[in-house]
Amino acid sequence: MAVSSRVPLGADHGSAPVFFLSYARHHRAPEDKSGTAEDPDRWTLRFFDDLTFEVAELTTLPRHARPGFMDRELRVGQEWPRRISEALAACRVFVPLYTPRYFTSLSCASEWYLFQARQSAHELTSGTRPEAIIPVLWLPMPDTDLPAAAQALQFDHHTLGEAYARLGFLQLIRLARFKDEYQLAIHALAREVVRVALSSAPQASLPVDFRALRNRFENAEGLFDAAGDLVRRVGGRTPLSLPGRRPLALPAGTQKAPEASGTPMVEPLPDLPDTSTGSADEAVIAYIRAAQVKLAEWFVSRPYQIASADFDDFYFREVHPAAKAALLRHLTPYAPDGRSARPPRLRSLPPTERPPGGAPDVP
């Protein structure tokens, strides 16, 4: 099979790719201004073409669909960051090509982190951990050279063949004498991609510009460490209560209220006071539950942006007003006992009405 010269962009625009190929890109030599030299990523392109063909054969995708996504950094119209972000937010399987340069690339680390954030959000909200990262040895690498996030993956490379596990895909694809071993390995990898896509894919999320992560970390090592922290912090946690999972558990003796149109019911939060003890407790619970619905919507889609100005704006624009409205619906206004205090004024009082001392007049 000839090495492809076209530029793959993945599945049709608007559709979710089955897999996202993450790799450390090469750059053309500075003296190659004409672009006539061989593409330094030609073997990666060949691998992508072959894996895409095998995955397409194992699925029922339409004939025109492209099941894979590969970034070729087409910067025409500056569309490439959006395309990468959309693919990372929707792809079902993440396929990183292991090389020494991969784990020093800030772009590769950003792609890994965003996909791991999707997996961690899925685990927090469903209670099941997806395992949708399938590592590929482009060049053989000892486990001791891998960051903790990569070492934590459970994948037996020998299932793709002994020659692949010993040499990696780059040697199999370049050397003609390993043609049979390469074909068997690429087919076995495609079968694993399809299996994981159908059984272990994480929930899709809203696209996030992966360049924002590169601006927050000085090097790839720190970003891979952050991805490993996501796995450690989420593992074993109690799943979040999400809207629409099951109806509220109401106290004994109360009637079930009809669900408001467009407002999903949520599970009861743990360790809350009995709602039958008084209006104040009911109001607090209503506030927390209304806030929970809004916060769950954000966390499922963008858990990695919690510590951001966007989240702060979202909280004060949507979460707090909705929770406050729920709280007010459960409160009964009443007048306080005794004489009401004089409301504060911004205009000057006549000298006869001014209390002794106090703040200066505000004109």
Question: Hey, what amino acid is at 45?
Answer: L
Position 35 scores a pLDDT of 58
The answer on pLDDT for 213 being more than 70 is yes
List of E strands, the chain: 19-22, 68-70, 93-98, 136-137
**pLDDT level of residue 276 (50, 70, 90 thresholds):** very low
Longest alpha-carbon distance in the chain = 105
Whether residue 75 contacts residue 82, with contact meaning beta carbons closer than 8 Å, is answered with no
- Give tens-digit pLDDT for 300-342: 666 656 666 677 777 778 877 887 787 777 666 555 566 655 6
DSSP string, 31-70: T--S--SPPTTHHHHHHHHHHHHHHHHTS---TT---EEE
Position 105 scores a pLDDT of 92
Rounded to the nearest integer, the mean pLDDT of the chain is: 75
Position 120 scores a pLDDT of 86
Position 271 scores a pLDDT of 40
What's this model's pTM, rounded to 2 decimal places? Answer: 0.65
**pLDDT level of residue 248 (50, 70, 90 thresholds):** very low
What are the two backbone dihedrals, phi and then psi, of residue 110, each rounded to the nearest 5 degrees?
A: -65, -40
Neighbours of 70 (CB within 10 A): 25
pLDDT mean over 104-126: 88
- Give tens-digit pLDDT for 148-201: 999 989 899 999 999 999 999 999 999 999 999 999 999 999 999 999 999 999
What are the two backbone dihedrals, phi and then psi, of residue 173, each rounded to the nearest 5 degrees?
A: -80, -25
